[in-house]
């Protein structure tokens, strides 16, 4: 069945440094890969997404890359700020059209 | 408010009781998902609908769980004979079917079984 694995589970960086979170997916028919940010006590909110017809997408300090051959995609946050501290989830939609999430990465940006 | 809304926000129930949660998706969204989230974990897929049709239910989901979306608009999730292990945040999300677009989440219903 469909599965999404996410690493690392926790990530601590110094303010201003970059953070990278990686995910792999099992369903080769997956074609949509969103990333969500969830702050404590709040709902997950989309921060960026990518479709399978592109390899990279950027939005200010956030970028996502997709390698369809290897079935993995990554989130890159540059110039991290304390307000980037949150839990980040990758997800994928596969052939069954259901949205499957990774287990999450808790990012801590140290001032 | 034009976002996804869930009711109630919090529910405390005694073990063995039945509970029902409601989700009102964004009006034009035809896909609706239910997830369960426990502390420190990602949203765990429970079931999803396309319009009124329930397309898939997680194999991990016990028969005590049932969901409906009778008119293709709001949805309900019922848990019968609740157990302490059912304590979690239950999240609903909705999206447009076309081109696999962003899923918007509701605030969730936090269930505590005592």
pLDDT of residue A96: 78
Q: What contacts 24+ positions apart, CB below 8 Å, involve B39-43?
A: B40/A104, B40/A106, B41/A103, B41/A104, B42/A6, B42/A89, B42/A101, B42/A102, B42/A103, B42/A104, B43/A44, B43/A89, B43/A101, B43/B91
Residue to substitute from B43, B60, B89, B108, interface A, most A β-carbons within 10 A? B43
Instruction: Work out whether strand A105-110 and strand A10-14 pair parallel, antiparallel, or are unpaired.
Output: parallel
Residue to substitute from B100, B102, B107, interface A, most A β-carbons within 10 A? B100
pLDDT of residue B97: 75
pLDDT digits (tens, 9 = 90+) for A77-107: 999 999 999 999 999 998 778 889 999 999 9
Q: Which of A15-19, B17-21, B24-28 is predicted with the least confidence, judged by mean pLDDT? A: B24-28
Per-residue pLDDT averaged across B2-20, rounded?
96
pLDDT digits (tens, 9 = 90+) for B63-81: 999 999 998 899 999 999 9
Q: Kindly state whether B107 is in contact with chain A, defined as any CB-CB distance less than 8 angstroms.
A: yes
Q: How far is A51 from chain B (nearest CA, A)?
A: 9
Query: Residue B92: its chain A contacts at CB < 8 A?
Result: none
pLDDT of residue A87: 97
Q: Kindly state whether B39 is in contact with chain A, defined as any CB-CB distance less than 8 angstroms.
A: no
Q: Kindly state whether A95 is in contact with chain B, defined as any CB-CB distance less than 8 angstroms.
A: no
Mean pLDDT score of chain B:
92
* Two tokens, residue B27: 């009006």
pLDDT digits (tens, 9 = 90+) for A8-66: 999 999 999 999 999 999 998 899 999 999 999 899 999 999 998 889 999 999 999 99
């Amino acid at each position: 069945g469909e599965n999404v694995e996410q690493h690392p589970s926790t990530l601590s960086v110094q303010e201003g440094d970059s953070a990278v979170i990686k995910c792999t997916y099992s369903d080769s028919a997956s074609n949509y890969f969103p990333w969500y940010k969830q702050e404590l006590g709040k709902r997950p909110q989309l921060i960026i997404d990518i479709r399978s017809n592109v390899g990279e997408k950027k939005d200010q300090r956030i970028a996502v890359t997709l390698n369809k051959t290897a079935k993995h995609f990554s989130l890159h946050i540059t110039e991290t700020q304390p307000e980037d501290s949150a839990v980040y989830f990758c997800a994928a939609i596969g052939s069954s059209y259901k949205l499957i999430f990774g287990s999450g990465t808790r990012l801590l940006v140290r001032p | 408010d034009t976002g996804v809304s869930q009711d109630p926000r919090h529910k405390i129930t005694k073990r063995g009781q039945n509970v029902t949660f409601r989700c009102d998706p964004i009006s034009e969204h035809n896909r609706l998902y239910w997830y369960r989230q426990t502390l420190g974990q990602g949203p765990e897929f429970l079931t999803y609908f396309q319009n009124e049709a329930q397309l898939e239910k997680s194999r991990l989901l016990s028969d005590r769980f049932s969901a409906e979306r009778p008119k293709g608009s709001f949805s309900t999730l019922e848990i019968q004979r609740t157990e302490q292990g059912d304590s979690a945040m239950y999240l609903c999300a909705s999206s447009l079917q076309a081109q696999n677009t962003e899923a918007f989440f509701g605030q969730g219903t936090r269930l505590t079984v005592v």
